[in-house]
Structure 1
Amino acid sequence: MKVHHVLFAAALSLNMTAALAQDAHAHEPGHDGRIVLALTPDERAMILDEMRLFLDGVQKMTGALGQQDMPAVADAARGLGQKMAHAVPPALRAKLPAEFRQLGFSVHRDFDQIALDAGSMQDVSYSLTQLSATLQKCVSCHAMYQIQTPAFSARH
């Protein structure tokens, strides 16, 4: 997975243009009222890949919580923390609205905290409460933003 991110970052760095990064239409409201993030197909794929990793990690966490396997909860949460956020290329990060970036970093920090607390507190209920609060941030982000590629945006 890390090789994928490194290769993507290299390709993205070679293909980025200043005009695309400064696109004035990148954050206009979409047809459903959510803010459109106009990204290249590779950028969109990277963000969606990260979201799928979140979903996979949350599934692992909930399964482990059901088994009261707190080391597995901590391990799954740790994989979704800040180290995951550092895989996003700086050029892509710069294209995203500040609120989107802040929410994303907050979610990564939350997973780091869940990992720490699951390991030290061993409290299923507390970890579930933390996970619920983190997932609310995911819900808020999905309600606020949609990701489209410029070709897709032009057709709609």
Structure 2
Amino acid sequence: MSATKNTVVYRVIIGLLLLTIVGLVLKFVVLGRTGTEVDGRVTILLDPSERVVVLNEMRQFLVGIQQMLEAAERKDAAAIVKITRPLGMAAAHAVPPGLAAKLPLEFKTLGHSVHNDFDRIAMDAEAMNDVQLSLRQLGQTMNKCVACHATYQIALPPGPRQ
């Protein structure tokens, strides 16, 4: 084979590899594993154990929000710091990589934004001791929760249940 033919073959192979990589990134990083529900929401299809991880995280947010509201009623900024800090980005790192690959990019972006919000609420509550600011920040964060629940649904894939 001549050098020119070798170059063409190498370029074709490299091109095919690049297309494969782009396709895999699109599938596993951007799109995730989804479908569409009758109500227009995007259904994120997860195995039972993965679904439990996502729903547990959402319940932790809900419990934390309820506890924050009680702390705000007592005007206890220190409690708000203690409640919100574990809900920040530290919690986001507990998601298994295989699960993260199944989640659409917009869902992951929104989730990270909520975790960042809790970090910011904790830092500001600690620095400023202003419960009203914490409540305003929580209201902004809750808008993201509402948007997420209006956009997505977590479901099991079709087929036999375990």
TM range, normalised to the smaller chain?
0.7 to 0.9
- Report how many residues are paired: 134
1:42 aligns with 2:42: no
In structure 2, the residue matched to 1:11 is none
Long gaps (5+) in structure 2: 1-26
Q: 1:57 to 1:38 in 2, by over 3 A?
A: same
Q: 1:25 to 1:132 in 2, by over 3 A?
A: closer
Deviation by residue 1:33-82 (Cα, 9 ceiling, x = unmatched): 10010000111111001111110111111100100111100111101000
Q: How does 1:1-156 map to 2 (within 5 A)?
A: 26-151=33-158
SS at 2:36 equivalent: coil
In structure 2, the residue matched to 1:18 is none
TM-score normalised by length of structure 1 = 0.80
Q: Aligned partners of 1:138 and 1:106: how far apart in 2?
A: 10
Report the AA paired with residue 152 of structure 2. Y
TM-score normalised by length of structure 2 = 0.77
Report the AA paired with residue 71 of structure 1. A
Report the AA paired with residue 28 of structure 1. G
CA contact (8 A) 2:32 2:105 kept: no
Report the AA paired with residue 151 of structure 2. M
Larger radius of gyration: 2
SS at 1:28 equivalent: strand
Between the aligned residues of both structures, percent identity stands at 50
CA contact (8 A) 1:57 1:79 kept: no
Q: 1:25 to 1:84 in 2, by over 3 A?
A: closer
Q: Where in structure 1 do 4 or more consecutive aligned residues deviate above 4 Å?
A: none
CA RMSD of aligned residues (A): 2.2
